[in-house]
Structure 1
């Protein structure tokens, strides 16, 4: 178990609300800005005070000495929380020009990445893919799957329903998160492309947001970001929004209710938004 002492004060609101924070998300080779309302961050003098101790390997285990899956997940989430805290503190230390503290945290993060199983395997997998050692990459992938299968869900998704393509991409916003309080802030970018030969209008949205503890919440609303856009054939509509989460990782999925507007009395239909991850660690293959 880990114990961390830290004071941070950050505001954020619910899904589909407007914010201001810096971040970029991309679809394929393209890259798009995420613009979320103004918050004056200012410079802060912060110091991370962290104490960590590991329980005996056999503590709480069953007679066979093996941890249950839920215990393994809890341990991973705690380490993930610690990692998110350290990364945030390094950024704040650099912003306040406390470079000695930033360097100390950088070195601590490097050591953490070498010792944390999932992060270590992620680094090895990235290196294997970059060097085209795909058999090794597959082996690391399988090891990650055994330790933390939820981690392999990508931070992007792509699905097409009746010619309507929905691409999603999420990014973790460190500056708007409070890991110590179990508050993690994610921005996401959506691109909706009408590849059919009929114009459509987006009427409603339905999101299913699931945290790392498999606790789900349904979010319903009219349109997106206050609009009910009409999307003509061979055209796209894009928007950015945000979602707070109580764990360092989770996922989003859902659907849009739409209708064709070229014929009176057309029935509505649902367009799938495929699942994508919300993760403080990003994709396994990021930055390759």
Structure 2
């Protein structure tokens, strides 16, 4: 698990290789990741947008950007958390992802960026 804290928002990431949804012979490797967002600040926040950078070991970099996460823009009260699971595919058996969330703080109507720490996507047999 990797973790980062930005402006009182803690992001933790776990990953798992999805063998049943992958096809290595055709260069398709599927990974799931679980994001846990904790609001350590004193103010309510809302996740408005996401931006991902997906790195494949063949040198390919993809950028994915959009509203919310998994179809929602969660509001997270002080001391509360929000978790979700999503996925990404690679063309090789090693890669990584990193990104950021655009958050909105309702008390002063400000927006700020929260870092999603870089995490590795590695097929388990490559770890031996």
Give the TM-score of the pair, scaled to structure 1: 0.43
Match of 2:96 among 228, 232, 251: 251
For residues 204-283 of structure 1, the aligned pairs below 5 Å read 204-263=49-108, 266-281=109-124
For residues 85-96 of structure 1, the aligned pairs below 5 Å read none
SS at 2:20 equivalent = helix
The CA distance in 1 between the partners of 2:6 and 2:125, in whole Å, is 27
For these two proteins, the number of residue pairs brought into alignment is 128
The CA distance in 2 between the partners of 1:283 and 1:159, in whole Å, is 26
SS at 1:233 equivalent = coil
The CA distance in 2 between the partners of 1:164 and 1:212, in whole Å, is 30
Aligned partner of 1:173 in structure 2 is 18
CA deviation after TM superposition for structure 1 residue 172, in Å: 0.2
Unpaired runs of 5+ residues, structure 1, are 1-155
Tell me the C-alpha RMSD between the 2 structures: 1.6
CA deviation after TM superposition for structure 1 residue 167, in Å: 0.4
The CA distance in 1 between the partners of 2:37 and 2:79, in whole Å, is 11
Give 1 or 2: higher strand fraction.
Answer: 2
Quick one: structure 1 residues 198 and 204, their matched pair in 2 at CA, closer, same or farther if it must change by over 3 Å?
same
When Rg is computed on C-alpha atoms for both structures, the one with the higher figure is: 1
Q: Highest relative contact order (Cα 8 Å, sep 6+), 1 or 2?
A: 2
Unpaired runs of 5+ residues, structure 2, are none
Give 1 or 2: higher helix fraction.
Answer: 1
CA deviation after TM superposition for structure 1 residue 282, in Å: 7.4
SS at 1:189 equivalent = strand
